[in-house]
Amino acid sequence: MRRTITGMVLLTMAQPLVAQQPPAIAQVGAPAKAERKICKRSAPSGSLIETRRECHTREEWSRIAQAARATGQDMVDRAGSGGQLPN
């Protein structure tokens, strides 16, 4: 019984402290999560042993993937036009 009352008193005292924290503290942590680096390993063409590690943010990986898709699409377009660049 005594522990229950002590626990309830502590909880009631802690609530105003939690409510007084400025909302900016919660927002400061959000950009750090978006800027977190994601590392991937890749093997260079022709190598079975060597691996390379690349670390980029999610946005950078997205741009790299988009550039690779654009390059692949360009190769497909060139192959369909006999290897000539469109004018």
* pLDDT for 26: 47
Its pTM stands at 0.51
* pLDDT for 17: 47
> Contact 57/37 with Cβ under 8 angstroms?
yes
Q: Which residues of the chain have pLDDT under 50?
A: 17-18, 23-27
Written as one letter, the residue type at 52 is R
Q: For the stretch 29-64, what's the b/e string if a residue is b when 16 or more beta carbons lie within 10 angstroms of its beta carbon?
A: eeeeeeeeeeeeeeeeeeeeeeeeeeeeeeeeeeee
* pLDDT for 8: 54
**Which residues, in sequence order, are bridge partners of residue 40?**
54
Distance CA 46, CA 59 (A): 29
Give the model confidence (pLDDT) of 30-53 as tens digits: 555 558 999 999 988 888 888 999
